[in-house]
Amino acid sequence: MYYDSYKNDQLMKQFGNNIFEIEALYFTLDKSERRKYLQEHPELKQYWDEKKKYNEQIDMSIIAVANMLPEGKPMQLRSDTVMTTQQDILGKTVLEALQKTQEQKHYEMPWSELSKMFSDSQLRLMVDYIELGKAYPDSMSDKLNYIASKMGIGVDRLLALMKYAYIYNR
């Protein structure tokens, strides 16, 4: 909440108090009307670029803080739980699944692991994106969507994770 409030305050100072209404109206228009609307409101593209930069900074801050948090206790069943054979099997399976889920830390992954998910040419594109801020080609979107969905996160989070790993965990 804090980060979003700060971001929104800064964006309103830069683009005016009605920038959110201008953006909302854009998304209610048919695709054919959007081009004309963008011509009438060129600040929208600048706003989206700045919003993306703020979101990336927020993601990096959250990841940095998350990496400082101590590890919690693993999931456990209550000691007074009495189980039948079927429940015992199910209970252990559920417990193991919960513990594995808890152990998976998507917010902290070394660059060496993330880089294995890409071909050499794709990896060069991603490094250019991270180091130089170059846009990656549309052809990379499918790959990023696939990897993000396998990890159970969104593409924006995957990109933030990759940036953090590249900068801090190489």
Do 51 and 98 have their domain in common?
A: no
Encode pLDDT of 57-66 as tens digits.
888 888 878 7
Q: What is the 3-state secondary structure (H, E, C) of 7-33?
A: HHHHHHHHHCCCHHHHHHHHHHCCHHH
Specify the pLDDT at position 61. 83
118 phi, psi to nearest 5 deg: -125, 150
Do 18 and 61 have their domain in common?
A: yes
Residue type, 113: E
Specify the pLDDT at position 82. 58
Task: Indicate the number of domains in the chain.
Answer: 3
Do 61 and 93 have their domain in common?
A: no
Do 129 and 95 have their domain in common?
A: no
Domain boundary among 43, 68, 93: 68
The residue ranges of the chain whose pLDDT is under 50 are 85-87, 102-104
Do 26 and 60 have their domain in common?
A: yes
Do 92 and 146 have their domain in common?
A: no
DSSP 116: T
Do 99 and 143 have their domain in common?
A: no
**DSSP one-letter string for 89-108:** HHHHHHHHHHHHHHH--TT-
Residue owning tokens 């990336």: 56
Domain span holding position 76: 72-104
Specify the pLDDT at position 102. 47
Specify the pLDDT at position 94. 55
The answer to whether the beta carbons of residues 1 and 58 sit under 8 Å apart is: no
Do 35 and 93 have their domain in common?
A: no
pTM: 0.48
